[in-house]
Chain A
Amino acid sequence: MKNLNTEILVIGGGSTGTGVAWDAALRGFQVTLVEKRDLTHGTTGRYHGLLHSGGRYVVKDPRSAVECIHENQILRHTHTQCIEETSGFFVVTPEDEGDFPDKFKAACAACRVPCTEISAQEALRHEPLLNPRISRVFEVPDASADSFLATHLTAQAARQAGAQILVYHEVLDLITEGTEQDRRVLGAKVRDVATGEEFNIYANMTISAAGAWAGQVARMAGCTVNIIPGKGVMVAMNHRVVNTVINRCKMPSDGDIIVPIHTVAVIGTTDERVSDPEKLRIEPWEVQLMLDEGDKLLPGLSKARVLRAWAGVRPLYQEGFKGESRDATRALTLLDHQSRDGIAGFLTITGGKWTTFRLMAETVVDKACEQLGTRKPCATETTPVPGIEQGHYWLGHRLHEVEENRLQGELICECELVTRGMLEQATQRNPTITLDDLRRDIRLGMGPCQGGFCTMRAAGILHENVTLGMQNMKASPDAELVNRKSQIVNPEWDVAYMQSPAHNATADEVAPSAQHSALSTPNLLLRDFLQERWKGLTPVLWGQQLKQARLDELIYLSILNSDHLPDADTISPLTDFYHFDGGTSREAESDHA
């Protein structure tokens, strides 16, 4: 068994975990991060994409609001290309009565959240689909953020500072020593999900940034952390119905926010306590509630085409809290298990928002320094991640580059404007085990057809690159008979320009990688990705989107007959990833019968 030694072991590859790895590595620590699936597979990849101004929490949860506005201003400089400067409105609809708007205005001032009241008329000029009966509008510095890209960039910055990031590495147990009263965590026993290999990672400090899964990690250390898993359902509309983040000006509730992100607009969210962060069934009433509430902000919204629904779990935490998850604080929580539970070498950072991930990292690494007896100042506030010279994200970014560089023929995902070069670079430079990994990397399959066309193409390209070295293709551009396995090349992780069609226009310098090819036959890649997309479609399939699903059936059943491929019944170790959310229909039970 190979063992690893490191100074700081981080558990969890979401925004917080990568943030911790980045922060600790910049301070000069030797860092290893383990994530049981892909980066952002948990809550980070399942939120609506709001960079909070803090406005949402100024009245109800001012501590969280103060954290948000502080971080909002920092992330614009450190993660520039992940953020679109949409601005945000808090609007008072006829249903939002009373003195809340005035309280809101005062609370913004108290929390130092910049807030300007503008006329309803001016707001309607910016957002013509808004309910014309709104009475007051407050503008705040909300923005939309690409949490997939941001996490990859944070991980990239961490690696550049020397951190080791191990995805698809699952923590089986924590290694502890000592007695019940005087215990120390020495590291973790982990398993490489792709190869099945198990080994130990020893560390001076183990930091749990496992989000909704932090309770499970704490249990391995022998202590109890009662995370309040608050499920939030989000619904993506097929069109970007607004260009500004729209919030209802009232106490935070269900379905009161619409975030324009990339080509879509996301309505969120519900908040319901669930028993297990991996059981995320979406009920029809939840989708209905989002649409009904959305209609109050944008009348007629429920008649527009819906793209997809999904759910994420907030890792809320409040020591001793017994109430509804909606009422639990959104402020970050640091658990020092040494003083709390008598367990040394182990810290948990939880709660918080995506917006505050950097602050969460800073807070927990400060504590780690203290316990390790060193003084190393935090540097993340002033250290940008790679690639910020691209400037803020803007909606036409990909189309502009595709047109300028005449890449139309290279498009393999027409919905999200993903070129073959982008796909190949992402495959080479990020560990890719499933097509869903590529979705998180480059938005493959996230558009209206939900993988209808690009699933087949992506599986084909991955297979082609594994089978036939692209260098071989380059060496003899004429007919090339195929019988060679390419060499496995250690991929360089470089994601600063992963989203840029122009930057990936010439992909042929990258050698193909055969990593994990034994696991990921194209037939399984195809089947699993179609299933993954289906899971998020069924709660919202009607009208045009139902028609789209039927076209996908025409392609994958009638034209390709892909339900009768060899290996169709094979279970890959990764297959269950696509079933863990459970079904959305009653069929889930009867299918097993």
Chain B
Amino acid sequence: MLDLLVIGAGLAGLSAAVAAAKAGLNVRVIAKGQGVTHWHAGTLDVLGYLPLTDAPIQAPLAASQTLPPEHPYRLLGETRLRDALAMFSDWLAASKLAYPSSATPDQNLWLPSAVGAVRPTFLAPQAQLAGDVSRPEPMLIVGFHGLRDFYPQWIVENLTKQGYLARAAFLPLNMINELLERNNVQLAEQLEPPSARGRLAAALKKLCQPGERIGLPAILGVNEHLAVWQDLQTEVDAPIFEIPTLPPSVPGIRLYRALQQQLMAAGGRIEMNMEALAFKAEGQQIQWVETATSARPLKHYAKNFLLATGGVLGGGFNSDHTGRFWETIFDLPLTVPQDRNAWFRHQFLHPQGQPVFSGGVLVNDHFQPVEQNGTPVYNNLWAVGGVLAHADPIRERSLEGIAIATGISATQGMIAQTHAGV
């Protein structure tokens, strides 16, 4: 019998599963697909802008406690949030994918985006750090002719408008790629052989002037990333940073693989292509969750269940033309209005976001889904990450922070509450 069945293999589900496995629980992750991790920027955003005012945030941990009391960060409290992020970055370091913390413990980093906006994040992979706009060195942003997701002159024009020193340059794409397709993941794989790295390093060396740092699209290797990035820096003799591109995301895939490795090493398992279709509860106790597989439906029995299916994007919710909006597995109580008229604003980039995306599953401060009156819906069910109500993680730039911290904290709470594993 499993101690814990985690549903969803995004950052929330994997964080929970790794925490559980490292605590000695028998844990399995089932997922329909790979979650949003393969699409996002690969950074760990905790809180970038305040939800109502859109004010930029410098100290996200402190600011997290100024949010409304129902927000997942307020349910966590600053200490649980801080501890979970620290634990998570330790795991990544152990997988040789370092996300170094800044010298000041509660400080957002501001990094250039692929259109030259400056994006706030809390922890960034080592290979993105040199993009920190507070550093003095001028930036050389290098693109490749014909690469459809990266336009260095646009980045430079916007950085310049904001007062940062930057210039643009191009290299031919066939230096790294002869394929018909020009997918970022394929390009990253093409850069892995040492000969390809060498060609790129030589070209960059010619372009780069002393004292500059070099920004490139985030395609510096997938599995061999660390070697590719380090070799380039050494040979060019300049700081090199990656700028995340449109999905699919190479930094996101690296992050997923590092977590997968941590989970395997701790004895956990991930099973993909398993969409949860049904469940059975007796009283307040969930007995099993059933998934579709090619041959037959499969029942997953477990002592505890953790819902980490994500928000609208991850697949945690579905909706229809009548205005019905529901949680896809347990049909849990939601805060979302059952009226399409109340879901949207007329402006796409409205600073307060689209109301439909801040709705979700109501939980108590143990992250157990609750009814409107506060009583848990099931005794052995927890919900974490994008399914949670009272946050719009993409709008606030809190996507990874909420996923990781609620995933880890809920699991720790569950272990303490049920004494399941230890």
B41 near A558: Cβ-Cβ < 8 Å:
yes
User: A266 CA to B280 CA in the complex, in Å?
Assistant: 42
A219 in the interface (beta carbon within 8 A)? no
The one of A481, A551, A553, A559 that contacts B167, using a Cβ cutoff of 8 Å: A481
User: In the complex, how many angstroms separate the beta carbon of A383 from the nearest chain B beta carbon?
Assistant: 40
Per-residue CB contact flags for chain A residues 225-245 toward chain B (1 = under 8 Å, else 0) read: 000000000000000000000
Q: Which residues of A contact B158 (CB under 8 A)?
A: 523, 565-566
Report the nearest B residue to A303, measured CB to CB.
B320
Residues from chain B with Cβ under 8 Å of A583 in the complex: 345-346
Cross-chain contact of B349 among A287, A459, A481, A530 (Cβ < 8 A): A530
Interchain nearest-CB distance for A530 vs B (Å) = 5
CA separation between A284 and B343, bound complex, in Å? 12
A546 in contact with B117 (CB, 8 Å): no
Is the pair A456, B113 in contact by a Cβ cutoff of 8 Å?
A: no
- Output the nearest chain A residue to B48 by Cβ-Cβ distance: A561
Whole-angstrom CA separation of A555 from B394 in the bound complex: 9
Main SS of the interface on chain A? Answer: helix
Is there an interface contact between A560 and B349, defined as CB atoms closer than 8 Å? no
Whether, in the assembled complex, B151 has its beta carbon less than 8 Å from a beta carbon of chain A, the answer is yes
A543 touches which of B41, B152, B203, B318 (Cβ 8 Å):
B318
Check B345 against A564 for contact (C-beta < 8 Å): no
Q: Are A550 and B321 closer than 8 Å at their CB atoms? A: no
Task: Annotate A452-485 by CB proximity to B: 1 below 8 A, 0 otherwise.
Answer: 0100110111011001100001000111111100
Chain B: which residue is nearest A466 at the CB level?
A: B153
Knowing A302-B321, A409-B146, say if A479 contacts B171 (CB, 8 Å). Answer: yes
CB distance from A572 to the nearest CB of B (A): 15
Contact present for A479 and B119 (CB under 8 Å): no
Closest Cβ of chain B to A257, distance in Å, is 20
- Is the beta-carbon distance between A468 and B395 smaller than 8 angstroms? no
Docked complex Cα distance between A467 and B156 (Å): 11
Asked, given contacts A464-B154, A481-B169, A565-B158, whether A531 binds B148 with beta carbons under 8 Å apart, the answer is no
A458 (CB) vs chain B CBs: closest residue: B148
Q: Which of B66-121 contact A (CB under 8 A)?
A: 113-120
Q: Does A516 reach chain B (CB closer than 8 Å)?
A: no
The reply to whether A291 and B341 contact each other, CB–CB distance below 8 Å, is: no
Contact across chains for B347 and A531 when beta carbons are under 8 A apart: yes
Cα separation A549 to B120 with both chains bound (whole Å): 22
Interface window among A26-34, A142-150, A178-186, A585-593: A585-593
Contact yes or no, B356 A562, CB < 8 A? no
In the bound complex, how far is the Cα of B355 from the Cα of A586, in angstroms?
12
Give the contacting residue for B321; candidates A306, A477, A480, A559; CB below 8 A.
Answer: A306
With A542-B340, A588-B346, A591-B346 already in contact, the answer to whether A550 and B113 are too (CB < 8 A) is no
Residue A526, interface by CB 8 Å: yes
Are B153 and A560 touching (Cβ within 8 A)? no
Residue contact A531 to B348, C-beta cutoff 8 Å = yes
- Interchain CA distance A583-B244 in the complex, whole Å: 33
Q: Distance in Å from the Cβ of B183 to the closest Cβ of chain A?
A: 9
Q: Are B148 and A420 in contact (CB under 8 A)?
A: yes
Inter-chain contact B154/A459, CB cutoff 8 Å: yes
Give the residue name and chain of the A residue nearest to B249 (CB).
Answer: A559
Q: A542 contacts B321, CB within 8 Å?
A: yes
Within the complex, the shortest CB–CB distance from A44 to chain B, in Å, comes to 25
Q: How far is the CB of A310 from chain B (nearest CB, A)?
A: 15
Q: What is the CA–CA distance of A287 and B320 in the complex, to the nearest angstrom?
A: 13
Do B344 and A479 touch across chains, with their CB atoms under 8 A apart? no
Q: Is the CB of A550 within 8 A of B311?
A: yes
What are the interface flags for B196-240 relative to A under an 8 Å C-beta threshold, 1 for contact and 0 otherwise?
000000010011000000000000000000000000000000000
Least Cβ–Cβ distance between A281 and chain B, in angstroms: 10
Give complex CA distance A287, B325 in Å: 18
What A residues does B357 contact at CB under 8 A? Answer: 550, 553
Residues of the B chain whose Cβ atoms lie less than 8 Å from the Cβ of A287: 321
Residues of B within 8 A of A412 (CB): 148
For the complex formed, measure the closest distance between the CB of A424 and the CB atoms of chain B, giving whole angstroms.
Answer: 12
Q: Which residue of B lies closest to A589 (CB)?
A: B346
Given contacts A538-B344, A566-B158, contact A464 B320 (CB under 8 A): no
Provide the residues of chain B in CB contact with A556, threshold 8 Å.
348-349
When distances are taken between beta carbons in the complex, the residues of chain A under 8 Å from B346 are 535, 538, 582-585, 587-588, 591
Q: Are B341 and A480 in contact (CB under 8 A)?
A: no
- The reply to whether A409 and B313 contact each other, CB–CB distance below 8 Å, is no
A522 within 8 A of B: yes
A129 is an interface residue with CB less than 8 A from chain B? no
Interface segment out of the listed B9-17, B174-182, B374-382: B174-182
Note all chain A residues with C-beta closer than 8 A to B118.
Answer: 561, 564
Q: In the complex where A541-B344, A562-B117 touch, is A409 in contact with B182 (Cβ < 8 A)?
A: yes
Contacts of B349 in A (CB 8 A): 527, 530-531, 556-557, 562-563, 568
| Chain A residues with CB below 8 A from B315, complex form | 547
Per the bound structure, the CA–CA distance linking A456 and B149 in Å amounts to: 8
Main secondary structure of the interface of B (DSSP, over half): loop
CA distance A473 to B315 in the complex (A): 44
Chain B residue with Cβ nearest A585: B344
* Complex partner residue of A479 from B153, B169, B343, CB under 8 angstroms: B169
Chain B residues positioned under 8 Å from A568 (CB to CB)? 349
> Which residues in chain B, 318-356, are within 8 Å of chain A measured between CB atoms?
318-321, 323, 325, 340-351, 354, 356
A288 and B321 contact, CB distance less than 8 A: yes
Q: Which of A306, A535, A565, A586 makes the CB contact (< 8 A) with B117?
A: A565
Contacts of A483 in B (CB 8 A): 167
**A408 sits at the interface (CB 8 A):** yes
> How distant is A468 from chain B, measured CB to nearest CB, in Å?
6
| Contact assessment for A564 and B117 in the assembled complex, using a CB-CB cutoff below 8 Å | yes
Bound: A559/B243 CA distance, A: 10
Q: How far is the CA of A284 from the CA of B56 in the complex (A)?
A: 36
B-contact bits for A262-301, CB 8 A (1 contact / 0 none): 0000000000000000000000100110010000000000
- Contact B114–A559 (Cβ < 8 Å): yes
Which residue from B114, B171, B180 sits with its C-beta under 8 Å from A560? B114
A215–B162 Cα distance when bound, in Å, is 47
Contact indicator B312/A550 (Cβ below 8 Å)? yes
Residues of A with C-beta under 8 A to B350: 587, 591
Q: Does chain B have a CB within 8 A of A372?
A: no
Give A460's nearest chain B residue, CB to CB.
B151
In the assembled complex, which residues on chain B have CB atoms less than 8 Å from the CB atom of A547? 312-313, 315
In the complex, how many angstroms separate the beta carbon of A587 from the nearest chain B beta carbon? Answer: 4
B254 CB, min distance to chain A CBs, angstroms = 15
Task: Give min CB distance, B31 to chain A, whole Å.
Answer: 16
What is the minimal beta-carbon distance from B168 to any residue of chain A, in angstroms? 5
**Is B115 a contact of A526 with CB atoms below 8 Å?**
yes
Compute how far the CA of A512 lies from the CA of B153 in the bound complex, rounded to whole angstroms. Answer: 15
Quick check: is B403 within 8 A (CB to CB) of the other chain? Answer: no
Does A554 belong to the interface (CB within 8 Å)? Answer: yes
Q: Which chain A residues lie closer than 8 Å to B167 at the CB level?
A: 481-483
B172 at the interface (CB under 8 A from A): yes
In the complex, whether B397 has a CB less than 8 A from a CB of chain A is yes
Q: Tell me if A591 and B345 are in contact (CB < 8 A).
A: yes
The residues of A that contact B153 with a CB separation of less than 8 Å are 463-464, 467-468, 482
Instruction: Kindly state whether residue B399 has any CB partner on chain A within 8 Å.
Output: yes
Q: B179 to chain A: which residues have CB within 8 Å?
A: 409
Is residue B247 within 8 Å, beta carbon to beta carbon, of the partner chain?
Answer: yes
Instruction: List which A491-538 residues lie within 8 A (CB) of chain B.
Output: 522-523, 526-527, 530-531, 533-535, 538
Cα-based distance from A47 to B161 in the complex (angstroms): 42
User: In whole angstroms, how far apart are the Cα atoms of A546 and B344 in the complex?
Assistant: 11
In the complex, A559→B248 CA distance in Å? Answer: 11
In the complex, the answer to whether A541 meets B343 with C-beta atoms within 8 Å is: yes
The 3 closest A-B pairs by CB, nearest first: A583-B346, A460-B151, A534-B348
19 residue pairs bridging A and B, Cβ less than 8 Å apart: A291-B321, A408-B180, A456-B115, A457-B149, A460-B115, A463-B151, A467-B157, A527-B349, A533-B348, A540-B321, A542-B323, A542-B340, A558-B119, A559-B247, A560-B117, A561-B115, A561-B120, A585-B343, A585-B344
Name A residues whose Cβ lies closer than 8 Å to a Cβ of B: 284, 287-288, 291, 302-303, 306, 406, 408-412, 420, 453, 456-457, 459-461, 463-464, 467-468, 473, 477-483, 522-523, 526-527, 530-531, 533-535, 538, 540-543, 546-547, 549-551, 553-568, 582-588, 591
